[in-house]
Amino acid sequence: MFSLKVVVVLLAFVNAVVQASNQVVLTCESSPSEKGEQGPPGPPGHYGARGQKGDTGSTAGLENTISALEDRLKETEEDIAAMAKTISDLQKKGGKCQCMKVIGGKIWHGPGNGYFYYTVQSGMTYDEAKSKCSQLGATVATQAPKSRDVMRILEAQMSVLTTETYWIGLTDKAGEGWFVWEDGTALQSSQANWNPGQPDDVNNEDCVGGNYIDTLQWNDYPCSHQLIALCERKA
């Protein structure tokens, strides 16, 4: 058994230890050491886990799009082939394209077929058109209208051919339904560019106009009708 004296000594010792401990703590808080410089950033963390796979989409729409694109590509290839053939043919016929030429102070357009074109832009009968073109050393156009490809080039050069109706050098004056060009050659079926339903010879229509109702196609008109003139002459 501990005596009371021993207990008192022990309590005094414990109290001294606690007080010493408090003094140490107080000493640390009253004079904290200064912080060091911040260290460099740590290395980047690992990539996160791969996400879940998405739902499978429908491929029908994509296949339709691819099919449509293939169709358009095919059409474009065909157009390019046709244009290349036209250019090749024109080069064989007319040599290097000379697209514009000033003749008699007027600008004439050359689609590359060896002829030049000019429009007299006032309303006139077919015979008046022949006369007007003749005054310009030309005839009413016959060579270009024989070819849709050449006319496409000429229409790009002369926008009036897409907005006005103009006489071309083609009539069936010699015999109803027998159309002959001003150069004396007969109209070939491969050259014909009639608007559907034409020629209909309504009221004795024997002369031909291009770009009927803005279709770029032909209609037979009475020769007394008033159209502008598309004149054609050699270079």
- In the chain, helix, strand, coil percent, each to 5? 40, 20, 40
How large is the C-alpha radius of gyration of the chain? 48
Q: Does 205 bind Ca ion (CB under 5 A)?
A: yes
> Which of 142, 220, 225, 233 contacts Ca ion by CB under 5 A?
220
Candidates 219, 225, 229, 232; binder of Ca ion (CB under 5 A) is: 219
Q: Are strands 166-171 and 180-181 parallel, antiparallel or unpaired?
A: antiparallel
Among 63, 75, 200, 214, binds Ca ion (CB under 5 A): 200
Minimum gap (Å) between residue 135 Cβ and Ca ion: 27
Which CB, 117 or 179, lies closer to Ca ion? Answer: 179
Per DSSP, the three-state class of 133 is helix
Count of residues that bind Ca ion according to CB under 5 A: 8
Instruction: For residue 194, report the phi and psi dihedrals to the nearest 5 degrees.
Output: -70, 140
| Least spacing, CB of residue 215 vs Ca ion, in Å | 13
Q: Which two tokens stand for residue 52?
A: 């879940």
77 binds Ca ion, rule: CB under 5 A: no
d(CA 129, CA 122): 10
Q: Does 201 bind Ca ion (CB under 5 A)?
A: yes
**Interface residue list for Ca ion (CB under 5 A):** 172, 198, 200-201, 205-206, 219-220
